Amino acid sequence: MIDQLPNFFSQRIFILTNFQWAGILITLFFGYLVKLILSKYISYLLNRIFVKKELRLSEKQIKKISFSLSLIGFSFVWLTIIPFLKFADPILHLFKIFGTVLLNSGILILAYHIIDIVCSFLEQKALETENKFDDILIPLLRKTFKTFLIITGVIIIGDSLTLDVKSIVAGLGIGGIAFALAAKDTIANLFGSLTIILDRPFQIGDWVVIDGTIEGSVEEVGLRSCRIRTFQDSLITLPNGKLTNADINNYGRRKFRRLNTKLGVEYDTTPESIEEFCDEIKKLILNHPKTKKDGFYVYFNEMGDFSLNILLSLLWAVKDKQEELEQSHYLYLEILKLGKKLNINFAFPTQTLHIEK
């Protein structure tokens, strides 16, 4: 076919012949055409595929996948046509490297976005389950897979560029000791994240106190650190390495929540009234739907400076702090109504001053 072309195509301009320049333009045209076709129909195809899998894709996710597939399609056209254009070996080698790098980049970008989509789907499923362990595990898996993919991608693209990857890896091995010393905190944090996964000292949303100083709700757990939202709404970032030896008090794991208080009544309250008052409070606790029916105490146990003190201790069977406060609120209101009904006055701090003549 080349021999039948006019002499114009055999003329050389800027190293390449006109035939080769025309071939490059045709290759770019077909590559761009493949890109347009993929961009046009990828949205329809992806929605058809993923709707059956109960997974909805956003427009942004579709554009990302479309771009990576277009890059793969373009590089495939490039690698298919370029060998037929009779380039000299050095130039052909450069063009093949260019196409291979594009192809590998497209595949890696596509894999990166697929990891995002799959993990987003799993996170939605995790929110529907009562077990909160998967709320920690899935974000960790997402970051782990992405890190592994990036490292693998660097090696693959380096190999595509004909770099001596083995020598580079060997060079890294020589400096491995120094790197390990410099990265010991990072390695400790990685082991800390494994400790969180295996031991499960807390879950997302748990109320924790760490080493008696850090208190709040667990908001996020990552490969390097976990984030705790304090009750002042500040965000504490705690390296996972510190968690391996930390004392973690997890209030979120409580089956019951203790209410422990004292009810002070005036000194002129009769013993019979105190006895009846305690009995009626016990009935309130027994009839309350959110209290543990054993292990509670209502006893007159102290003669204070200005009041006769009744110990009230019980366990709430509630799921969180808000419900605990709500039930305590209603119980205190019932106790106030009971005191008013029995003509029992609650004491407040007073002093009696005796003046001697």
Residues 43 and 128 in one domain: yes
Residues 195 and 57 in one domain: no
Among the listed residues 320, 315, 301, 310, the one whose alpha carbon sits nearest the alpha carbon of residue 252: 320
Q: Of the given ranges (8-17, 187-196, 276-285), which has the lowest mean pLDDT?
A: 8-17
pLDDT at 341: 93
Assess if residue 151 is contained within a domain.
yes
Strand partners, 220: 227
Tens digits of per-residue pLDDT, 75-94? 887 778 777 777 677 777 78
Q: How many residues does the chain have?
A: 357
95, 129, 163 - which closes a domain: 163
Q: Report the distance separating Cα 337 and Cα 260, nearest Å.
A: 20
Assess if residue 354 is contained within a domain.
no
pLDDT at 28: 76
Residues 240 and 267 in one domain: no
Domain that holds residue 136: 7-163
**Residues of 73-91 as b/e, b for ≥16 C-beta within 10 angstroms?**
bbbbbbbebbeebebeeee
State how far Cα 198 lies from the chain centre.
16
Among the listed residues 168, 181, 120, the one whose alpha carbon sits nearest the alpha carbon of residue 145: 120
Phi-psi region of 75 (alpha: psi -120 to 50; beta: other; left: phi over 0): alpha
Is residue 235 within 8 A of residue 228, CB to CB? The reply is: yes
Is residue 20 within 8 A of residue 8, CB to CB? The reply is: no
Largest CA distance in the chain: 138
Tens digits of per-residue pLDDT, 243-263? 878 888 888 778 888 999 999
pLDDT at 39: 66
Assess if residue 205 is contained within a domain.
yes
Residues 238 and 274 in one domain: no
CA dihedral 9, 11, 14, 16 (to 10 degrees): 50
Whole-model pTM? 0.47
Q: What's the number of CA atoms in the CB half-sphere (13 Å) around residue 70?
A: 18
pLDDT at 185: 64
How far is the CA of 142 from the CAs of 111, 157, 222, 223, in angstroms? 12, 22, 10, 10
Collapsing DSSP states into helix, strand and coil, what is residue 164?
Answer: coil
Residues 205 and 287 in one domain: no
Assess if residue 66 is contained within a domain.
yes
Assess if residue 146 is contained within a domain.
yes
Q: Of the given ranges (57-66, 158-167, 178-187), which has the lowest mean pLDDT?
A: 178-187
Q: Report the distance separating Cα 118 and Cα 115, nearest Å.
A: 5
Residues 263 and 202 in one domain: no
Residues 237 and 266 in one domain: no
Tens digits of per-residue pLDDT, 333-343? 999 999 999 99
Is residue 105 within 8 A of residue 161, CB to CB? The reply is: no
Residues 16 and 145 in one domain: yes
E strand intervals along the chain = 12-13, 16-17, 207-210, 214-221, 225-229, 235-239, 248-250, 257-265, 297-303, 308-316
Total domains present in the chain:
3
